[in-house]
Amino acid sequence: MTTYKETGVDIEAGDETVNRIRSSVRNTFTPGVEADIGAFGAFFAPDLEGVEDPVLVSSIDGVGTKLKVATRAERYDTVGQDLVNHCVNDIAVCGAEPMYFLDYYGVGALEPSTAEAVVEGFAVACTKNECALVGGEIAEMPDVYGEGDFDLVGTVVGLVDKADVVEGDDVAPDDVLLGLPSTGIHTNGYTLARTVLFDEYTVEDRPPELGGESVGEALLRVHRSYLRPIQALLEADLVKGLAHITGGGLPGNLQRILPDGCEAVVDYDSWDRPPLFSLIQREGDVPEADMRQTFNLGVGLVAAVRKADAQQALERLEAIGELPVPIGRVAAVSGDER
């Protein structure tokens, strides 16, 4: 006789996990949530008051190999926050406000305490972003994921009035690029970072460059949400384009919001590069071009603003506790050069 549990799938562990996360998930529910945990589908009734031409904006993403660092460090309370914030940022730069989030958690062998920590991370970030965690899937598949392996994928859905969509269409030469600091590597470039750093260090090691922080702590810093500063700029009509700096770094992501005939001129000496990036570059002898195309290098969000509005935008961001830095400008190029 062969049981499901003997093949590697523990239904009782799944039930225990659901019971552990039930309270955290319910605490994220906003007034739009129409169904409790356990339904076959998530129901959400958006508040359309004041929205003349509603547009749904959605994004799906994963945490990538940052999960390998979490496993090494046996710390799982940050990666859930990473996933929510990454997805929220991707729709916030389009002008949308997040409404709800769904997750997929695939694992080889389900450990309820680990799953609880991950989902509590979802809940923490959803609460901070005023976004409901309306559903998710926990899949135990020992034939797909190796021992200790797991994967996270998330989807966020937000709402914006069509007239308020931010696409960067009117970004023009002489616009100023304002950067907001990242909290670390965020969720991109971890294959390179792990390859370099774990050849030299363990997660517990504390290189002097990191100022007392361990390698694991530095690598697991939470991918921050930029929703609040983005909303501050949008409410004051001070922004023409917004770029979330993820895979591709500043060159790849700024290109996504520039109209034909425009290019971003970035002064990479205009901000202090966090020491973690310098450590990676030194230990791996990583070329500067690779650093720029792989990592955010300390700038996780860029806003393109009119030159005449740059000072006001800086002051508005500083008023809410942000540390914006002018990092460059938009310049004109010929179409074939672009």
pLDDT at 317: 98
Tens-digit pLDDT profile for residues 249-298: 999 999 999 999 999 999 999 999 999 999 999 999 999 999 999 999 99
Tens-digit pLDDT profile for residues 219-235: 999 999 999 999 999 99
pLDDT at 122: 97
How many C-beta neighbours within 10 Å does residue 198 have?
16
CA distance 263 to 310: 18
User: Do the strands 299-305 and 241-244 form a parallel or antiparallel pair, or are they unpaired?
Assistant: antiparallel
- Which domains are seen in the chain, by residue range? 5-164 (3.30.1330.10), 176-332 (3.90.650.10)
Tens-digit pLDDT profile for residues 160-198: 999 999 999 999 999 999 999 999 999 999 999 999 999
Residue 29 or 7, more confident:
29
**Could you tell me how many helices (H) and strands (E) the chain has, helices first?**
11, 9
Q: What share of the chain is helix, strand, coil (3-state, %, to 5)?
A: 35, 20, 40
Tokens 């070329």 appear where? 287
When pLDDT is cut at 50, 70 and 90, the band that residue 336 belongs to is very low
Sequence-distant (≥ 6) Cβ neighbours of residue 187 within 8 angstroms:
61, 63, 64, 66, 82, 83, 86, 223, 246
184, 296 Cβ separation under 8 angstroms? no
pLDDT at 216 over 70: yes
CA distance 193 to 284: 9
Q: Let me know the angle formed at the C-alpha of 190 by 81 and 74, rounded to the nearest 5 degrees.
A: 55
The mean-pLDDT minimum among 38-47, 67-76, 127-136, 214-223 falls in 38-47
pLDDT at 72 over 90: yes
